[in-house]
Structure 1
Amino acid sequence: MDVKKQANKIAHMFKSRDPFEIVRGLNVILVHYPLDGVRGFYQYFQRNNIIYLDERLSDPEQHFVLAHELGHMFLHKKANAIFMDTRTQLNGARYEREADLFAMELLLPDDLLSEYREMGYSIDQISRVTGYDKRLIKLKLN
């Protein structure tokens, strides 16, 4: 599956790259709660899409984590990450990387990234301007 294509399709469908608007348009159940050990997680339960989000996160962190969890929803709906994490030896790193990439494709479109690059911004500067970790900027660029 082409992660970039999926993220752009969703952004086009909802005419927005704001994960909160997308969640509202999808009737996803969004639960704000003080989570320990995780910043958020996605659950598909009784034909309902539920995203739990740590209410103590800053706004930029909430946007990223929500976009990341939307990535799980669109890319890994049938994968039970909690079960895989706690009951199997399977490595969920691939799923996490894909969800990170989905979030970056959704939140940081190519034209905006190109604009920063044309202005001569380094990865460090793009990271500071956008509020996204350098690792995530590099993931998007690769």
Structure 2
Amino acid sequence: MDIKEKVDKLTRRYHTNEPFEIAERKNIPIIIEPLGDIWGYCHSYKRMQIIHLNSELDYIDQRFSCAHELAHIILHPRINTGFLRMHTFFSVERIEREANCFAVELLIPDSMIRSYEHISRSIYEMASICGVPEELADLKKIENQRTKFFYPFP
């Protein structure tokens, strides 16, 4: 199952694409605290997953960070990227990219893009509307209804 399918399954199950609401329904506590330059991180304590978000971020960035950390919990439940960065030579780039893809798919649903088709918005404008950093907008994949072909926006 690819990332887009996992996001679709998650949003169908919880009837929302709001990361704070999904975390609440999955009983994942969210702690908002000062974290300096770090947007957020997640860890487990006694088999309970916990998301930490930076209190210095605005709500839009906290929302994206929550979606990103939720992705780590769902896609990489046993991987500790902080440990890997500090104590190994293992590259966490792929893991972080997957978490970003998940967050982008969650926050920019295909249904929203279809609802804006008649206005002809760029993916960067859609990212801005949905609270996704513009530099990550290219990670969004759109399904062409006729061909079932996934393609990124130009």
Instruction: State whether TM-score is above 0.5.
Output: yes
Cα distance in 2 for residues equivalent to 1:44 and 1:93 = 21
SS in 2 for 1:121: coil
CA RMSD of aligned residues (A): 1.5
The structural deviation recorded for 1:15 is 0.9
Q: TM-score, normalised by structure 2?
A: 0.85
Runs of 4+ in 1 over 4 A off after TM superposition: none
SS in 1 for 2:116: helix
Alignment of structure 1 residues 2-81 onto 2, 5 Å: 2-81=2-81
Give the match for residue 85 of structure 1. 85
Give the match for residue 100 of structure 2. 100
Cα distance in 2 for residues equivalent to 1:88 and 1:138 = 30
Q: Percent identity?
A: 34
Higher helix share: 1
SS in 1 for 2:140: helix
Q: Does structure 1 conserve the Cα–Cα contact (< 8 Å) formed by 2:64 and 2:131? A: no
The structural deviation recorded for 1:118 is 4.0
Gapped runs of 5+ residues in structure 1? none
Cα distance in 2 for residues equivalent to 1:105 and 1:124 = 14
Q: Provide Cα deviations, 1:58-81, integer angstroms capped at 9, x if missing partner.
A: 111111100000000000011111
Q: TM-score, normalised by structure 1?
A: 0.92
Alignment of structure 1 residues 102-141 onto 2, 5 Å: 102-141=102-141
Cα distance in 2 for residues equivalent to 1:20 and 1:35 = 19
Rate the CA distance shift 1:110–1:81 in 2: closer, same or farther, 3 A: same
Q: Does structure 1 conserve the Cα–Cα contact (< 8 Å) formed by 2:7 and 2:105? A: yes
Counterpart of 1:75 in structure 2: which amino acid?
Answer: L
Comparing 88-97 and 110-119, the one that deviates more: 110-119
Gapped runs of 5+ residues in structure 2? 142-151
Cα distance in 2 for residues equivalent to 1:90 and 1:42 = 19
Counterpart of 1:76 in structure 2: which amino acid?
Answer: H
Cα distance in 1 for residues equivalent to 2:50 and 2:29 = 5
Cα distance in 1 for residues equivalent to 2:89 and 2:113 = 37
Cα distance in 1 for residues equivalent to 2:44 and 2:101 = 21
Counterpart of 1:135 in structure 2: which amino acid?
Answer: E
Q: Provide Cα deviations, 1:108-138, integer angstroms capped at 9, x if missing partner.
A: 1112123334421123322333332222221
Cα distance in 2 for residues equivalent to 1:13 and 1:108 = 17
